[in-house]
A and B are shown apart, each in its own frame.
Chain A
Amino acid sequence: MSSPSARALVIAVICAILAGTSAVRAAEPQLYPTGPKNGAAYIRFVNTAGEPLSITSRLARIDLPASGSRRATEFRAVVPEDNLAASSQEGGRTKMINLMLARNELVTVAIGGSASGGPEAVVFRETPTDFNALKVSIALYNADSHCANGQLAAGKQDTLIISGVRPGALGRRSINPINVAISGNCSDTSETQLPVNLGELEAGERYSVFIFDDGNGVPQFLGIHDEIGSSGP
């Protein structure tokens, strides 16, 4: 394996979009080496900035709109233990994102922070082991520094399924594939639950919920359907 410095400019930028079909995703470019021979790791980007932003590497640029399904990419394979460098641009402001992923690690980069004067990346690292084709896996990513206790609840009785997720952390839970409404809040108190739109929870599927600040100190909840890219053309 070559030294990290020799490969310091290997770039991880992702163009695949969660709402698209697999065939559409497969046609999108692979901008970095993939494959299991050296292990695999995965990275995705999510726009929680409230404004359109772009991510630029030495090789390419992708644009993530402020809303809609294209605000989040799918997990795409990267070579573990490579230096991954890119910059995020929001308006005229730029911030570098430098990462190195461990083998089998899934990294989510939530980019927000427009109210604080520029793009801020919150990096969530995870090596999940709950893959199961008969269960639903839900993760809660707390990207809101003001949200002391991120939690998700299910059903009309707001049964807690994930709780105690602190800013910068994530929680995950496997549940049975039942069609149930998911909601979230940021407090142990009887604060109103905010609905989270995840659609029908299907067996074998994985979902993510992001808590982020809307720029005015109000927590927002974004639900997305996870996709882990396989090595297409």
Chain B
Amino acid sequence: MNLALAGLVVLIIGDSHMSSRDYLITTLHDALINQGAVVHSYGVCGSNAADWVYRATEPCGRAERHNKDAPHVDAGQVQGWSIDELIAQNHPNLILVELGDTMAGYGQSSLPQAWIWGQVKSLTRRIKADNIPCAWVGPPWGSEGTRYHKTYTRVKEMSEFLSQIVAPCEFIDSTTFATPGDWPTIDGQHFTASGYRNWGDDIAASVVRLARQKDLTP
């Protein structure tokens, strides 16, 4: 079988969408493995981009998963990982960053652009220094009217802003995968199983396209 991502070692880092079983750490991870990639996934609930530079402590758990192993989940207050140590450990030739919801300032009157810029730049600077191809997955629609104060307008605004600032990472726009409200959530941000399955499959399809365009596979 000719697998599109054969030979690729993918490092995925992300926020709460990557920090629980059956979330992206299962669906996206499996979808990439099914295309032949070796995958190392790490999720830290509540993490912002710079937290992956300074190895921040976060209050709501973390998870990691290595290729075909089961996810290992730590609950409660945890220390995250730094991108430098993860690169040194896993030697990826593609880095996927799934970070958006934690930085979009849901509930605030305006998008905190300067703060997001500082966060994103601190992480992309490290990735750029190692000259590793990367892709940044933007936030999905989720649901409006919940305790996370997520709105479709802000999700779109955040996606457009990230698309301007994540270079040298390519931007994967999750808002193109569905229309608002298509994927049901349990709390406004986190999806039911079908939502994570759809999101993971769509991200993986984007990675396959990217790998072909950029000739990333060895």
Seen from chain A, the residues whose Cβ lies within 8 Å of a Cβ on chain B are 22, 26, 36, 39-40, 42, 75, 77, 103-104, 106, 127-129, 131-134, 203-204, 228-233
Contact = CB atoms under 8 A, between A and B. Distances in A.
A232 B124 contact: no
B54 A228 contact: no
Given A104-B111, A129-B113, 20 more contacts: A36-B103, A40-B112, A40-B114, A104-B110, A104-B114, A131-B116, A133-B124, A133-B168, A203-B167, A204-B165, A229-B118, A230-B49, A230-B53, A230-B118, A230-B121, A230-B122, A231-B48, A232-B50, A232-B54, A233-B54
A39 B108 contact: yes
B108 A103 contact: yes
B165 A228 contact: no
24 contacts: A22-B125, A36-B108, A36-B112, A36-B115, A39-B105, A39-B112, A75-B118, A77-B118, A103-B110, A104-B111, A106-B114, A131-B117, A131-B165, A133-B164, A133-B166, A133-B167, A134-B164, A228-B114, A230-B49, A230-B119, A230-B122, A231-B50, A231-B119, A232-B54
Contacts of A129: 113
B161 interface: yes
A77 B50 CA distance: 14
Interface of B: 48-50, 53-54, 56, 103, 105, 108-119, 121-122, 124-125, 161, 164-168
A203 B124 CA distance: 13
Contacts of B48: 36, 231
Contacts of A128: 113-114
A232 B168 CA distance: 22
A233 B119 CA distance: 14
A77 B68 CA distance: 42
A65 B112 CA distance: 32
B126 to A, nearest CB: 9
A132 B110 contact: no
Contacts of A230: 49-50, 53-54, 118-119, 121-122
Interface of A: prevailing SS: loop
A230 B51 CA distance: 9
Interface of B: prevailing SS: helix
A138 B166 CA distance: 19
Nearest to A106: B114
Contacts of A204: 121, 124, 165, 167
A103 B112 contact: yes
A139 to B, nearest CB: 13
Contact of A131 (B50, B113, B122, B168): B113
Contact of B113 (A75, A77, A104, A231): A104
Nearest to B111: A104
B165 A132 contact: yes
Contact of A40 (B109, B115, B121, B161): B115
Contacts of B114: 40, 42, 75, 104, 106, 127-128, 131, 228
Contacts of B125: 22
